[in-house]
A and B are shown apart, each in its own frame.
Chain A
Amino acid sequence: AQSVAQPEDQVNVAEGNPLTVKCTYSVSGNPYLFWYVQYPNRGLQFLLKYITGDNLVKGSYGFEAEFNKSQTSFHLKKPSALVSDSALYFCAVRGMNTGFQKLVFGTGTRLLVSP
Chain B
Amino acid sequence: DSGVTQTPKHLITATGQRVTLRCSPRSGDLSVYWYQQSLDQGLQFLIQYYNGEERAKGNILERFSAQQFPDLHSELNLSSLELGDSALYFCASSTEIVDEQYFGPGTRLTVT
Contact = CB atoms under 8 A, between A and B. Distances in A.
Nearest to B46: A102
Contacts of B55: 100
Contacts of A108: 42-43
Q: How large is the interface on B (under 10, 10 to 19, 20 to 34, 35 or more residues)?
A: 20 to 34
A49 interface: yes
B34 to A, nearest CB: 11
Contacts of B90: 43-44
B103 A105 contact: no
Contacts of A104: 45
A46 B4 CA distance: 13
B106 interface: yes
Contacts of A94: 98
Given A44-B43, A103-B101, 20 more contacts: A32-B98, A42-B105, A42-B106, A43-B2, A43-B104, A43-B105, A45-B2, A46-B102, A90-B43, A100-B55, A100-B56, A100-B97, A102-B45, A102-B48, A102-B56, A102-B58, A103-B33, A104-B45, A105-B42, A107-B42
